[in-house]
Amino acid sequence: MIQARRGRLEGLKRNPQGESEYDSFLERDYMLEIDSMSGVKEWTKDHGIKIPYKIFGLLPHTYNPDFLITFLDGSKELHETKGAGFLAWASTHAKRKAGDEWCKARGMKYKFIENSRGALFGQNNTLDTLGKRANDYSSVSEMLK
């Protein structure tokens, strides 16, 4: 099942605005994950980056990667999240290839974060540590109550 609920998450430590909109529960959960990662200086969804790509090599489009992450060492990465329902789409593969090429040309890394199990990500699973999934939380402080 694709979870596509949109919303806003507040109380973020490493986001310059302290809050950010999300387009799915997957994005929201990953926002919490990167906000708790050591080594991350800041991250944002409001980066203005548009990457050109073509579907089937013909139809030109652009897309905005989900996250621009800046690390304490000054390095930057673009992260794109995709749930299982989108993994077979031609546009997903075209975006992934274009994002990787765009980043390589600029000395950056591109990470494609896929979630085929409906679980959270990485090693610092903030919500897993709490033993619950944040289905309806709108702020980090509300989640931690």
Q: Give the separation between CA 64 and CA 46, rounded to whole angstroms.
A: 9
Whether the CB-CB separation of 65 and 79 falls below 8 Å is answered with: yes
Q: Which range (3-7, 11-15, 29-33, 110-114) has the least confidence?
A: 3-7
Backbone angles phi, psi at 63, to 5 degrees: -145, 155
Residue 20 has pLDDT above 80, yes or no: yes
Residue 79 has pLDDT above 60, yes or no: yes
HSE at residue 51, side-chain half, CA atoms within 13 A, is 28
**What average pLDDT does the segment 123-142 reach?**
43
% of the chain exceeding 90 in pLDDT: 52
Whether the CB-CB separation of 126 and 21 falls below 8 Å is answered with: no
For 42-66, the pLDDT digits (tens) are 999 999 999 999 988 788 999 999 9
Query: Which of the four CATH numbers 3.30.70, 3.30.450, 3.40.1350, 3.30.720 does domain 7-144 have?
Result: 3.40.1350
What are the sequence ranges of the domains in the chain?
Answer: 7-144
